[in-house]
């Protein structure tokens, strides 16, 4: 299958998934194209600019629905629903369920890596798709897609989720006079698809690690993991023993995930080195 044939097949599949026929297919092609497939070309040919616009449109659409659906919620509750719904993990999971992994156009640099950037790419393509729909069919087209795919995941329970895990963790630890600190321990992946690994500490005790597309997201994930692991500790008077056990569990889980990511990164580095020698 030639490159053009593959693109055409992906465009057709994408339109089947979203239930919309594009008048301007170049908009759709850009929305599903990973930056690795446009090296040396303008950013207009990948989803990078589209996700910027899509993120804003998506936030507005979700805010309107939440505002109308939950008239008794205050600003804080509405914000937590919006943040939870448009979070990277939720959009990535949704895009995967929709079958977006089969429509993304990756470049040769991603070949043989197991598409390590797939998680973030799924999130980005969902946002880019919202932008492409808006540009091609107006707010009605974008809204119809979001209401069919994302809005069914909206629930009142989301209003109870912590808006900022770092703030919640800090409040918990400061009850014992401890201020959590964060440290960036690793940066993985190529410049256009960075992955950051952050570690959170309570004094000198490591609590958990988190992985994210930005340093802020990695720290937030680390805080969320720490809260999950330390939940039992804060509900009990016997804090020290439970803290140690929870920290060990969190550290082992994070180390396992980090080691898996590191092995993939090493394989990619080896592959690129071989290519350079052969060239």
Question: Annotated catalytic sites, by residue?
Answer: 55, 127
Instruction: Give the C-alpha separation, 12 to 21, whole Å.
Output: 9
Nearest CA to 247 out of 178, 196, 164 is that of 178
Residue pair 152/171 in contact by the 8 Å Cβ criterion: no
Residue pair 128/55 in contact by the 8 Å Cβ criterion: no
**Residues paired with 178 in a beta bridge:** none
Query: SS3 for 219?
Result: helix
Instruction: Give the C-alpha separation, 114 to 129, whole Å.
Output: 23
The owner of tokens 């594009």 is: 22
Nearest CA to 127 out of 25, 52, 16, 38 is that of 52
Instruction: Give the C-alpha separation, 17 to 90, whole Å.
Output: 18
Instruction: Give the C-alpha separation, 63 to 185, whole Å.
Output: 35
Residue pair 98/122 in contact by the 8 Å Cβ criterion: no
Residue pair 228/165 in contact by the 8 Å Cβ criterion: no
């Amino acid at each position: 299958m030639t490159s053009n044939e593959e693109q055409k097949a992906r465009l057709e599949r994408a339109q089947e998934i979203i239930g919309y026929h594009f008048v301007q297919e170049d908009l759709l092609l850009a929305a599903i194209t990973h930056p690795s497939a446009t090296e040396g070309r303008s950013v207009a040919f990948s989803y990078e600019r589209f996700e910027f616009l899509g993120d804003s449109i998506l936030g507005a659409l979700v805010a309107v629905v939440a505002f109308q659906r939950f008239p008794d919620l205050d600003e804080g509750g509405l914000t937590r629903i919006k943040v939870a719904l448009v979070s990277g993990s939720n959009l990535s999971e949704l895009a995967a369920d929709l079958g977006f992994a089969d429509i993304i156009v990756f470049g040769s640099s991603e070949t043989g890596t197991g598409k390590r950037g797939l998680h973030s790419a799924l999130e980005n393509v969902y946002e880019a798709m919202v932008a492409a729909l808006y540009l091609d069919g107006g707010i009605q087209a974008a809204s119809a897609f979001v209401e069919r795919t994302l809005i069914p995941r909206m629930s009142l329970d989301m209003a109870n989720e912590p808006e900022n895990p770092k703030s919640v963790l800090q409040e918990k630890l400061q009850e014992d006079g401890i201020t959590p600190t964060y440290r960036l321990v690793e940066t993985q992946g190529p410049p256009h698809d960075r992955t950051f690994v952050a570690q959170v500490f309570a004094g000198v005790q490591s609590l958990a690690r988190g992985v994210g597309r930005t340093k802020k997201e990695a720290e937030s994930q680390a805080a969320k993991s720490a809260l999950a692991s330390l939940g039992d500790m804060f509900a009990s008077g016997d804090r020290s023993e439970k803290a140690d056990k929870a920290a060990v569990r969190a550290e082992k889980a994070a180390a396992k995930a980090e080691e898996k990511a590191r092995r993939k990164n090493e394989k990619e580095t080896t592959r690129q080195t071989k290519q350079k020698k052969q060239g």
